[in-house]
């Protein structure tokens, strides 16, 4: 990098009804992050025409130009964990060529599997037709969540992440990946309910379960009052407490 040069990266967090923009500038080995910009969308879980999405994106086109790297991180449902052996079998039979066009597949780093997730069809097509999106990276919050988990082969661990009122749960039972799921959260009590209900379905002993909370679950969230009554321990991500909500957007840049 020359003395006066800099590189700019763009991260997009895409939910069913919003796109959040965050930029990172690397100049003289210093990093600068913008404030996030949130753009409202029509509900992409419904049928939205390509032309409507294209018009919305073009209205905000200046936010999408002149970047060295672009990362698009989806927060969409459904998300399916697909064993690698199954994908290999599809590849051998060439059936993988018929994989649904409204789904993307990303390999996981700590599990011998990939995630398949909804790419919101026409939105993905619009992205593909933008000139500087040719080499964009497409990923999902589930991949970033599952890839950074640090599990202990001696413990029963529940990992929970809340982003935009969606709760992602992952469970490792003494080092064995057991479950991933994503839930819609309406009220604060829903977090405790989904964690305890999932534990009950898997017949986990609450006195041995350690819960790790991540995402938009601040230190004063009611979950810290109620959940410790039912499980062995509850911990939080200290980076989130320090950096606040933008921490989650910063993590998107890790796949550069």
Residues 138-170 have pLDDT tens digits of 999 999 999 989 999 999 999 999 888 899 999
| pLDDT, average across residues 212-221 | 82
Question: Does the structure show a pLDDT above 60 at 241?
Answer: no
The contacts of residue 112 (CB under 8 Å, 6+ apart) are: 83, 84, 85
Report whether 141 contacts 161 (CB < 8 A): yes
Report d(CA 250, CA 177) in Å as an integer: 26
Helix ranges (H only) for 109-214 are 122-128, 141-147, 189-201
Report whether 67 contacts 9 (CB < 8 A): yes
Q: Does domain 148-244 have CATH number 3.30.420.260?
A: yes
| pLDDT, average across residues 36-62 | 90
- pLDDT tens per residue, range 166-185: 999 999 999 999 999 999 99
Question: Does the structure show a pLDDT above 60 at 1?
Answer: no
Closest by Cα among 246, 103, 204, 115 to 168: 115
Question: Does the structure show a pLDDT above 90 at 190?
Answer: yes
């Amino acid at each position: 990098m020359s003395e006066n040069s800099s590189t700019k990266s763009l991260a997009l967090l895409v939910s069913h009804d919003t796109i959040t923009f965050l930029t990172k500038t690397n100049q003289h080995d210093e990093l600068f992050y913008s404030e996030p910009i949130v753009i409202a969308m029509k509900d992409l879980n419904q049928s939205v025409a390509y032309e409507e999405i294209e018009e919305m994106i073009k209205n905000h086109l200046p936010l999408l130009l002149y970047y060295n790297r672009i990362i698009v991180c989806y927060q969409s449902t459904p998300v399916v964990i697909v064993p690698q052996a199954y994908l290999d079998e599809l590849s051998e039979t060439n059936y993988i060529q018929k994989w649904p066009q409204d789904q993307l597949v990303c390999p996981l780093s700590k599990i011998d599997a990939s995630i398949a997730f909804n790419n919101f069809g026409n939105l993905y097509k619009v992205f593909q037709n933008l000139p500087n999106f040719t080499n964009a990276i497409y990923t999902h919050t589930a991949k970033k969540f599952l890839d950074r988990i640090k599990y202990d082969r001696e413990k029963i661990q529940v990992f929970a992440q809340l982003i935009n009122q969606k709760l992602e749960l992952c469970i490792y039972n003494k080092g064995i990946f057991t479950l991933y799921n994503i839930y819609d959260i309406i009220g604060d009590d829903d977090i405790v309910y989904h964690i305890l209900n999932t534990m009950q379905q898997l017949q986990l002993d609450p006195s041995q379960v350690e819960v790790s909370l991540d995402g938009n679950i601040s230190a004063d969230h009611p979950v810290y009052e109620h959940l410790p009554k039912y499980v062995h321990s509850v911990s939080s991500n200290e980076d989130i407490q320090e950096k606040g909500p933008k921490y989650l957007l910063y993590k998107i840049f890790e796949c550069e």
